[in-house]
Amino acid sequence: MFFPRLKKEKNILVFDIGSSSVNASLLLKKENEIPVFLSFSHLRLPLLENPDFTHIERHARKAVKEIAEDVGKKNRKKMPDLIYMVLSAPWYFSETKNVKIQRRETFEVTEELVNKIMEDELELFNRKAREKFEDSSDIEILEKEKMRFIVNGYPIENPYGKETNRLELSIYLSAARRSFVKNIEDMLTHFLGNAEIKLVSEPSSLFRILSEMINPKEGYLVVDVGGEVTEIYLVRNGVLENTKNFAWGANLVIRRVASSLNIGLGEALSFFTAQSWGDIKEATDKKLSSSSLGVCSEWQTFLGESLSLLGREHPLPQTLVVLGGVAGSDILKKCLNSPDFASFTILGKPFDVISFIPENFGEKILTSGIDRKDSKMTLPLLLALSALKYGNQK
C-alpha cells in the first residue's frame, strides 16, 4: 500500500521589540511551498510626554507578555516551533570589528587561530557592552558572526588551510542585558511552551535579507526611524560595516504637533496617522506640516552628524533604504531629500532613496489581511523573510 509522504511544516513566531511598539508575526513554513504570513499583532507602547527608557522597557515587557499570552491561547494545538526575537535600539549594543594580522613570515590560517581572535575580540566587546548599558550585571551575547575573510588582499569564503602573511577578518558582535532577555524568555516559555528561541539584533537581521534584494556594488545605507530612536546601518563590501543611532524618532513629531496645536498626545497621534493615510482635511494637513518644519530640520541635524561619522574615512554609498515611521510619513520622508546630504555620498548627489511596500514581497511570502500599500508593514515582512531563511542557522 502506498502512503503519501507527509509534508514537513513549521510555525515561526517573529517578535520585533522596538522603542515604541512590539510587533509579532506568525508564519507557516511548508516544505517546497511559499511561506504564509498567518497573522500580525501590534501593540503600541504608551506615548509619554518625557520618554524614559526605564519606563519604556517596563511597557515593552508588558506588551511581549500580552502578545505571547494571546498567541498561546489562539494556537493551543499548534504552538510555534521557533521564536525569532529581534531587538531594535535601544535594547541591543553592536559593533563591527576589523582585525588585521600581518607577519614577516608566512603562516597558516587555522580554525584555532580564528577562534583565538574571536575570543580576544569578544572579551573587549563584553567590557564595552557593560559600559554601554551602564549595568554591572552580566550581558547576553546575541551574535558573533564572521562576515568576511581577506587573505593576501583577496576576499575568500573559506580561509582555513591557506598560507599567508596577511589576514583580515570582519566580525559582527551584538549583545543585550541578560536580565532583560531572561525575563522575556521566561514569559515566552510560560505562554508558548518550549519553542526554540533565537535572539538577534535588527541590523544583522535586515543586513542579510536586504543584501539579497538590492545589493548595489558600492553598498547601501539603511535608515530606520522608530518611535523614539533612529537607527542607521552602513553596508559596504558585503559587510555590516557600522551602525549608529540617536534618540530622535517619529514620536517627537507627534509631541511637537501636540504642543503647536495645543492638543493632547492622543489626538495628535490620530491626526498624524490620518495624514499618513491621506485621510485628513486640507486645513488640518497644512497645520500639521507647518508645525513639523522645525522638527524636520532638527532630525536632519542629528542624521547629518551620524552620516558624517559613518563617512569619515570614505564617501557613503548612494543607495539609502528607508524603513519605519519615515517610510509612511510624507512629513519625514521629505527630510531625507535634503541637498545637504549630497556632500556625504560617493557621487556628490542626494541619496537614491528606496522604500518597499508589501507588494514587493508577493513572490516570497503569501499575505492575507494586510494592506499591500502600507509601507509600515515593510519592516515586519523583511524580518519575517529573515526568520524564514536564517532562523535555524546557528
- The pLDDT, as a whole number, for residue 159 is 95
Reference 47, options 59, 62, 37, 38; nearest CA is: 59
E strand map for the chain: 9-17, 21-30, 36-44, 82-87, 93-108, 139-151, 154-156, 163-177, 196-201, 220-225, 230-236, 239-246, 319-324, 352-354, 366-367
Q: What pLDDT band is residue 393 in, cutting at 50, 70 and 90?
A: confident
- Are 182 and 60 contained in the same domain? yes
Among the listed ranges 75-84, 113-122, 295-304, 379-388, which one has the minimum average pLDDT value?
A: 295-304
Domain of 172 in residue numbering reads as 93-176
Reference 379, options 59, 125, 42; nearest CA is: 42
Asked if residue 1 belongs to a domain, the reply is no
Question: What CATH number should be reported for the domain holding residue 171?
Answer: 3.30.1490.110
- The pLDDT, as a whole number, for residue 6 is 46
Q: What torsion do the CA atoms of 259, 261, 264, 265 make, to the nearest 10 degrees?
A: -60
**Model confidence pLDDT, tens digit, residues 83-92:** 999 999 999 9
- The pLDDT, as a whole number, for residue 339 is 84
Question: Model-level pTM?
Answer: 0.90
* Domains of the chain: total: 3
- Are 74 and 169 contained in the same domain? no
- CA 48 to CA 59: how far, in whole Å? 11
- Are 335 and 373 contained in the same domain? no
pLDDT over 60 at 248, yes or no: yes
- Are 137 and 109 contained in the same domain? yes
Chain centroid to Cα 9, Å, comes to 26
Asked if residue 2 belongs to a domain, the reply is no
- Cα-Cα end-to-end distance for the chain: 40
* Collapsed DSSP state (helix, strand, coil) of residue 167: strand
pLDDT over 60 at 129, yes or no: yes
The CA–CA distances, whole Å, from 276 to 140, 272, 327, 330 equal 38, 6, 10, 7
CB atoms within 10 A of CB 187: 18
- The pLDDT, as a whole number, for residue 306 is 95
Question: What CATH number should be reported for the domain holding residue 270?
Answer: 3.30.420.40
Q: Among positive and negative, which fits the CA dihedral 60, 380, 82, 87?
A: negative
User: Phi and psi at residue 365, in whole multiples of 5°?
Assistant: -155, 135
- Name the DSSP class of 337: G
- The pLDDT, as a whole number, for residue 5 is 43
With both helix axes pointing from N to C terminus, report the angle between 250-261 and 265-276 in degrees, rounded to the nearest 10: 120
Reference 26, options 393, 394, 388; nearest CA is: 388
- Are 72 and 56 contained in the same domain? yes
pLDDT over 80 at 330, yes or no: no
Asked if residue 236 belongs to a domain, the reply is yes
Among the listed ranges 18-27, 175-184, 337-346, which one has the minimum average pLDDT value?
A: 337-346
pLDDT over 80 at 261, yes or no: no
- Name the DSSP class of 328: G
- The pLDDT, as a whole number, for residue 205 is 96
CB atoms within 10 A of CB 36: 15
- Are 233 and 128 contained in the same domain? no
Reference 308, options 224, 217, 244; nearest CA is: 244
- The pLDDT, as a whole number, for residue 242 is 95
- Are 200 and 86 contained in the same domain? yes
Reference 61, options 176, 231, 186, 227; nearest CA is: 186
